[in-house]
Amino acid sequence: MTRSTENGQMTRAQLWEMPRGKFGRNQAVFGFALLFAIWHVLTNVYLTEPGLWQNAIHFAGFAFLASVTLSPWGKKSNQTWAWVIDILYGLLVASAALWVAWAESGLYERSLAVTGLGWQFTAIDWAAGILLIFACIDLSRRVSGWVIPILIGLSLSYILFLGTMLPGVFRSASLPLNDVLFRTLYNDEGVFGILATISVTNITLFMIFGGFLVVSGASNFVIEVSKVVAGRIKGGAAFVAVISSALTGTISGSAIANTASTGVITIPLMKANGFRPQFAAGVEAAASTGGQLMPPIMGAGAFVMASYTSIPYGTIVAVSVVPAILYFLSVAFIVRIEAVKYDAGAKIDLTVDRRKMISGGLVFVIPLAVMIWLLLSGVTPPYAACWAIVAVIGTSWATSVVAYFNKDGTFKPVNMGPSRIAEALVSGIRSAIMTAILLTAIGIMNNAIVTSGVGNGFSLMIAQWSQGSLVLAIALIALASLVLGMGLPVTAAYIILAILTAPALAGIMADGLIVEQLIAGISDPSKSALFALVDHPLAAQVASGMTKPEAWELIRNIPFEIAVTIRPVLIDPSTQTVFLLTAHLIIFWLSQDSNVTPPVCLAAFTAAGIAGSRPMATGFESWKIAKGLYVVPLMFAYTPLISGELIEVLQIGFFALFGIYATNALIQWYAEGPLSPITLPLLVLGGIGTYWPLAWLPNIVGATAILIAIALSSRNKTGAHMVPEGG
């Protein structure tokens, strides 16, 4: 029997439970979600619907599920009238989405027949389109709050009338209402455009794959293997959180969900082993945030990035391996410092459940290996995800057969029978609701940005405010990401920031190379002639050369629309691709900071609830622990960490570990013992030397200085600090 409320009615959350008993609401919603999940698999490997139809069906199904499971009626949501209204509303929105797809050909025929009068929508077209836009606003509010609806309203207002009222680069001509509706519904940047395609072909399938890993018991393996790795290390309980969150976060796609799932195990474990409650919560929040940076899946970010930049998915994953390792080791270093400082984890009891580890290990390793192999072999992500799901089921059945004949109790696998397969499919659909709704809704903003050209204005503003300074531009983007992240999921924040700021950031990096050419002089007449378009006295000196300050002065006075013409001529296409990838990775990493940075840090607040610590104090703790979110993007910008040869990347990454440890020690004012007037300059100078890119002598000297500082600090240790009361 399913659980029920006190008045005998079922809550909306219980609709996702495996149905029992006679047919009712639970069976209906569960059955629809199951069929919807199966459709997502089939549409990516077998069915051949046109892209518009595929995206419309995708949104129609998720809109219906969001309507019936995320009720706006509060305590009255279980009353019959509320159910009826929500079901009818969901059906109307789904019908509107399907109508928009069906009506496309008729719209083109009518509009071509009556030239010069714009798009000829019928009354039903208008009703369906307006209802669809309203649903995007309403449902995005239900899943993520008011920020997205407000931004959608501003975006539509901007291209309808607001743009004519604004000054300078943000001034834009207004568009007729029927043109705005057409662009919103049918443009590649609109509600059923590229973002919806990413959701239906990539993200939802990987959410379903994650559901299979959880239901099959693979998540048990993650916890148990973490215990094996960390069981002999001081502070090992916290290392369990770091390792398990790294492995599960990349698949879950949500730092908050990862914190809630693994945190209920790791946070009590850390507290029991002597870690302060707010530190334990901060470690879990920081590690779960890093899960979105962890290849091969990287939450949803890698798919979005590949679609926007046209850079192969495999390339994005490959260049993200070393940065992800740096991030998680930065968290591990601060765990080590905390463990030594407060003598935490001195008596570790990390008993490993070998049955869970062995049975879950095969179900985790084999499907993940299949998926990685397929992705690296060049197949599409949806194809790889589908075969990985098949691998989960096949591995589960194979281990169940082995367990049947091997009855000594060595391992006890989860048999993925029909009921568990159904549970996994529905679990994946449930976890994908928020992303599917948001990516469709953000299409309205994306269309407004592209249609109006406001993205160019925003890029120009970043370029002007930063005055050509890359570090200042990154700081401005970090501030914008923090503000956006207060009300948006990180994937949504990344998409909006990438649209608005990636061209500017990539342009600033390209300008550095152009400055070098201007200093030397551009003798090629076909290239130097481009600067004749620039109204500045220094443009006459392009062929003869100029000083570095003069070159930067000229660069700052090149209008944005001319700069985007000059850069492709002066910069090699492969180099431009590197700059574009670098810009997107910087933005993607910075967009994660809202999970762990006060005043609104939902992953940290979730962890604080589990740990029983003060939310804001936990937020500041998680922010300190996750400082790799700021260090690594600077390395993207100023070192060839993602563009160099393998030996160069390894050199940068290896010595950066010393610099990251020194940074952590300075922030905590502790290494293997308290810092002293002697160890302080060693750590500062050593950090500078180890961060210096591709400079063997400074790197080696810096690493040596840091090792000496660590040795000296260990001699200063007179006893462990007492854990502060309230922690």
Residue type, 324: A
Residue 5 has pLDDT above 60, yes or no: no
Residue 184 has pLDDT above 70, yes or no: yes
Mean pLDDT of 56-65: 96
Share of the chain above pLDDT 90, in %: 29
Task: Give 240 or 143, the one with higher predicted confidence.
Answer: 143
Phi-psi region of 343 (alpha: psi -120 to 50; beta: other; left: phi over 0): left
Question: What pLDDT sits at residue 700?
Answer: 96
**Using CA of residue 117, residue 118, residue 119, residue 124, what is the dihedral sign?**
negative
- The structure's pTM equals 0.77
Name the CA radius of gyration of the chain, rounded: 27
Q: What is the pLDDT of residue 222?
A: 67
Residue 638 has pLDDT above 70, yes or no: yes
Strand partners, 674: 670
When mean pLDDT is compared across 81-85, 208-212, 628-632, the lowest value belongs to 208-212
- Report d(CA 363, CA 191) in Å as an integer: 37
pLDDT 10s digits, 423-438: 999 988 998 898 889 8
> Is the confidence at residue 632, as pLDDT, over 80?
yes
The amino acid that residue 579 corresponds to is: F
Mean pLDDT of 29-34: 93
Predicted confidence at residue 1, as pLDDT, reads 32
pLDDT at 512: 87
- Could you give the CA distance from residue 487 to residue 143 in angstroms, rounded to a whole number? 11
Q: How many CB atoms lie within 10 A of CB 538?
A: 17
**Residues paired with residue 670 on neighbouring β-strands, in sequence order:** 674
CA dist., res. 441 & res. 193, Å (int):
11
Check residues 11 and 76 and name the one with the higher pLDDT.
Answer: 76
Mean pLDDT of 466-473: 83
Predicted confidence band of residue 18 (pLDDT cuts 50, 70, 90): low
Greater model confidence, 222 or 191 = 191
Instruction: List CB contacts of 108: < 8 A, sequence separation 6 or more.
Output: none
pLDDT digits (tens, 9 = 90+) for 522-557: 888 888 888 888 888 888 888 888 998 888 888 888
User: 212-245 burial, b if ≥16 CB within 10 A, otherwise e?
Assistant: bbbbbbbbbbbbbbbbeebbebbbbbbbbbbbbb
pLDDT band at residue 379 under the 50/70/90 scheme: confident
For residues 449 and 447, give the distance between their C-alpha atoms in angstroms, rounded to a whole number: 5
Could you tell me if 339 and 238 are in contact, meaning their C-beta atoms sit under 8 angstroms apart? Answer: yes
Average pLDDT for 160-168:
84
The one-letter amino acid at 371: M
Give the pLDDT band of residue 7 (cuts 50, 70, 90): very low
Residue 15's contacts (CB-CB under 8 Å, 6 or more residues apart) are 25, 26, 29, 30, 68, 69
**Per residue in 263-314, pLDDT tens?**
767 787 788 777 889 998 899 889 888 888 888 777 667 778 887 788 888 8
Confidence of residue 353 (pLDDT cuts 50, 70, 90): low
The answer on pLDDT for 366 being more than 90 is no
Q: What percent of the chain has pLDDT over 70?
A: 85
Q: What is the pLDDT of residues 665-693, one digit of tens each?
A: 998 888 888 888 888 999 999 999 999 99
| pLDDT (tens digit per residue) in 94-133 | 999 999 999 999 999 888 887 666 789 999 999 999 999 9
Query: CB of 264 within 8 A of CB of 456?
Result: no
Q: Would you say residue 244 has pLDDT above 90? A: no
- 139: nearest Cα among 428, 439, 485, 495: 439
Residue, of 68 and 595, whose pLDDT is higher:
68
Length of the chain: 727
Average pLDDT over residues 463-480: 83
Is the predicted pLDDT of residue 564 greater than 50, yes or no?
yes
Contact present, 717 and 673 (Cβ < 8 Å): yes
Asked whether 208 and 40 are in contact (CB, 8 A), the reply is yes
Greater confidence, 585 or 540?
585
Residues 354-382 have a mean pLDDT of 77
When the pLDDT of each residue in the chain is averaged and rounded to a whole number, the result is: 83
Q: What is the pLDDT of residue 3?
A: 40
Cα 48 to its chain centre, rounded Å, is 29
Give the number of other Cβ atoms within 10 Å of residue 394's Cβ.
16
Distance from C-alpha of 274 to C-alpha of 238, rounded to nearest angstrom: 10
Query: Distance (Å, rounded) from C-alpha 652 to C-alpha 696?
Result: 10
The pLDDT, as a whole number, for residue 530 is 85
**C-alpha to C-alpha distance for 156 and 177, rounded to whole angstroms:** 10
Q: What are all long-range contacts of 176-180, with beta carbons under 8 Å and residues at least 24 apart?
A: 176/118, 178/118, 178/119, 178/121, 179/118, 179/119, 180/156
Please, are residues 107 and 115 in contact by the beta-carbon 8 Å criterion?
Answer: no
Torsion of CA 641, 645, 651, 654, to 10 degrees: 60
- Helices 679-691 and 696-716, axial angle in degrees (round to 10): 150
- The pLDDT assigned to 529 comes to 86
Whole-angstrom distance, CA of residue 345 vs CA of residue 338: 10
